[in-house]
Structure 1
């Protein structure tokens, strides 16, 4: 199997990013000269994204090795960032450059609990990996304003043998099962509302609901600073109020029941899965590929994204997982599976700390 290699300089990548950013600029007149730049810009972006495949796989192997030492129940997956997520980030963060985006390649470990999250984090930091740990962000101790919690580690790939990939950034995420259930529920609702709730954009009621649920889950996971403890009943009560007002259980149940999932016949030794979710049609299609078919998978990934670019809410992602079961566990939002989140919500509504 041959992995894609960077074919363009970082300056060329940055320029391509600036062209794509203009797609969101209301002042852009979209004249013929601009339209002529788009094909090359997408070509550069596609190669730049695919080039993160090799360092991403290397970091994922290390993450899996350490995660399994901490817990046999760890779920580890990897993904290349979706085309439209990349472009949305360029539009949302005005100072962002495509050549410096740190999460184009990302791998994630979902651990049984917060203690296992920190144990894995500590093992990675103390490990003998040559890759440079560039940033360590603890969103458990300091959650995002949205309520997002988890550990993020940014590594710069370093190798004497594969120097062409040196200094490409890979993001490692570590979450507990409850933190993961929360994050994927946010994405599921955001998908159907066609709002970027994960970026704190959209319905104020849903944003508040997920923020207070995150606070309640921090009590359940026993990671709340002591001064906040007296507020526990206030927070649980607010979750109950918003849950009733938004009819959360029924909404999430309807999403899941309506989904029609189709898995195309694929190889027994599949390692990569292309997921295509069409929310308005309530369909999910899964195409599988072997390690040797990675180039074909990446080409199909890009082609499918572009083909569905005008369909509201359409989502396409290429991920690597050990099995379909692991895939569903790591990406329940694509399967519209919010069972674990509903279980946690029930515990909150019943004032039961599990």
Structure 2
């Protein structure tokens, strides 16, 4: 397997990031910037790949049915983050390489978090964002651990950042539903931008899920009774016709055009306009080819004018891929099932 090796300086990467968000840059300058960013992104594949090998071993001891997946951040997502956070420099962005572990319970989240916070890794833990104990205004819940990669025997990739997300299935179902609705509304609900009705709905559902998992709820609902939270969820679910909308999206996306059905790396292309999903899989020795295809798919999407989302992820099987990244398959079944638990909060 041929892993990309860092070639550009941090200054060059930051300049490329500035070109990415500069509306006055020439097409040629933008193409060159994207090429630099795509190569730099692909350099994170080696650290992520070695990190996930340890993650799989650790999580298996905690939760037999856990999902583990990895991904390299989409260039449109990098661009959006650079625009959103004033002063953000691309070379300092901490989630270019990302890993995700989805377990069953809060207790399992904490056990896995403890294993990564005990100082046993050579990599430097530089930040912990506990969005379960302190959920943000959006209602998003997960634990994010930010690492600076440090391999004493191979310094080539040292200094690159990785993000490990640890969440429960309930939290995963919520985040998936937010992205699916956001995709079809063509609104950045994930970033708290868009329909006030849908944003409020997902916040109050987050509060209900927090109650079910016995974790802190959003400050906005701290004085609400469980009964009021549940009744509000049920009423908004009816008013927004949540289940019908989500089920319609899933039906619309049932036609999945697959390339190879096996492989370690999977390039997912979701066309939200036509509601079609294409998956092209690559074996472990074809990582360079997968990264090239990823960059080309993103570039083609930017020129098409259609709402096309692409991402390169890694899982052990295609079935795990669907479960770890259901938002790209418009699969909201876990969320719909979870909604049935909310009436239990009624007194």
Relative to the length of structure 2, the TM-score reads 0.95
Alignment of structure 1 residues 234-313 onto 2, 5 Å: 234-266=228-260, 268=262, 270-309=263-302, 310-313=304-307
> Which residue in 2 is equivalent to 1:55?
47
Aligned to 2:203: 211
**Residue of structure 2 equivalent to 1:340:** 334
- Contact 1:114–1:176 (8 Å) recurs in 2: yes
Change (3 A) 1:208 1:230: closer
- Secondary structure of the 2:101 match is strand
Map 1:4-153 → 2, pairs under 5 A: 4-23=4-23, 28=24, 34-126=26-118, 128-153=120-145
CA contact (8 A) 1:21 1:87 kept: yes
Note the alpha carbon deviations across 1:12-36, whole angstroms, 9 max, x for none.
Answer: 001110111113xxxx4x5xxx333
Number of residue pairs matched by the alignment = 343
Q: Is the 8 A contact 1:102 1:154 kept in 2?
A: yes
Three-state SS of the structure 2 residue aligned to 1:187 is helix
What is the CA–CA distance in structure 2 between the aligned matches of 1:228 and 1:280, rounded to whole Å? 39
Deviations 1:34-61 (A, max 9, x none): 3332122111101110011101111111
Q: State the alpha-carbon separation in 1 of the partners of residues 167 and 255 from structure 2.
A: 26
For 1:132 and 1:118, how far apart are their aligned partners in 2?
Answer: 19
* Comparing 158-167 and 183-192, the one that deviates more: 158-167
Alignment of 1:182-201 (within 5 A): 182-201=174-193
Deviations 1:320-343, CA, capped at 9 Å, x for gaps:
001011111101111111111111
Whether the aligned pair in 1 keeps the contact of 2:227 and 2:345 (CA below 8 Å) is no
RMSD between aligned residues: 1.7
- Whether contact under 8 Å (1:276, 1:284) holds in the other structure is yes
Counterpart residue number, 1:328: 322
The structure-2 alpha-carbon separation of the partners of 1:92 and 1:230, relative to structure 1 and needing over 3 Å to count, comes to closer
Partners of 1:308 and 1:260 in 2: how far apart?
Answer: 21
| Alignment partner, residue 158 of structure 1 | 150
Structure 1: gaps spanning 5 or more residues: none
Query: Partners in 2 of 1:140 and 1:293 — Cα distance?
Result: 37
Separation of aligned partners in 2, 1:345 and 1:107: 27
Which of the numbers 308, 314, 319 marks the counterpart of 2:313? 319
Task: Give the C-alpha shift of residue 253 in structure 1.
Answer: 0.8
SS at match of 1:334: helix
